[in-house]
């Protein structure tokens, strides 16, 4: 039976030592696991576990385990809201534009958990792009909610200003290499965009589209 403050202090000290030993054991196990990885896995583990800690204050939100492989171009990160384990690969260009000439915008890029943005992808927005969880954007994909105004044939397109329409890529979608997602488009849940496609209109859930412009070639119904 424990009596007096001294007895309780001894118990608490003992429990603290047990906790510290357990934590040390867990940390050693993590270190051993790390050194068993190959060179690529080690680099990826370091990036995943340090980027969020170092750069979280630069973003609207960035979830644990999200990472960017350099070299990469980022602009307007305060307008970017990223979930957990979002990966951006080398040479991606991600831009949130809040001002163009005399126009002012309120952009917001929202990306869900476990999204993979491939090499040389270009995402540019001035209004809203939402990419839901578990989406894959293959290499050299372009997603934009911006287009140039072209109404006046007497003024250079560059000087006519911008117009925007929001874009949404629903959960589980797969965007093939070299594809382009244009303003105003929604790509449905678990849809597939074939390589090299230019998507100008909405893609239904579970559809496979391909071509220029992209057309539905299959609706998966194996549910």
Active-site annotation, residues: 148
Cis bond before residue 213 (omega within 30° of 0): yes
8 A C-beta contact, residue 56 and residue 81: no
8 A C-beta contact, residue 187 and residue 179: no
CA distance 216 to 141: 19
Continuous H helices in 88-220: none
Element (H, E) at 51: helix 39-55
CA distance 171 to 169: 7
Residues linked to residue 73 through DSSP beta bridges, in sequence order? 93
CA distance 193 to 177: 9
CA distance 86 to 104: 28
Alpha carbon 132 to chain centroid, angstroms:
9
CA distance 197 to 181: 8
């Amino acid at each position: 039976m424990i009596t007096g403050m001294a007895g309780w202090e001894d118990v608490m000290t003992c429990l603290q030592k047990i906790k510290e030993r357990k934590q040390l054991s867990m940390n050693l196990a993590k270190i051993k696991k790390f050194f068993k990885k190959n060179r690529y896995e080690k680099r990826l583990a370091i990036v995943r576990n340090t980027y969020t800690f170092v750069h979280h204050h630069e973003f609207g939100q960035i979830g644990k385990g999200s990472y960017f492989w350099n070299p990469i171009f980022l602009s307007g990160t305060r307008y970017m809201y990223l979930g957990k384990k979002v990966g951006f690969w080398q040479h991606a260009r991600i831009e949130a534009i809040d001002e163009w000439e005399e126009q002012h915008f309120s952009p917001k890029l929202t990306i869900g958990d476990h999204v993979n943005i491939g090499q040389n992808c270009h995402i540019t927005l001035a209004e809203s792009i939402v990419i839901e969880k578990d989406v894959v954007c293959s290499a050299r994909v372009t997603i934009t909610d911006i287009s140039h105004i072209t109404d006046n044939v007497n003024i250079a397109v560059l000087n006519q200003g911008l117009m925007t329409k929001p874009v949404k890529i629903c959960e589980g979608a797969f965007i093939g290499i070299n594809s382009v997602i244009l303003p105003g488009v929604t790509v449905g849940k678990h849809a597939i965009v074939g390589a090299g496609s230019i998507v100008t209109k909405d893609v239904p859930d579970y559809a496979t589209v391909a071509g220029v412009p992209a057309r539905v070639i299959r609706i998966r119904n194996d549910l």
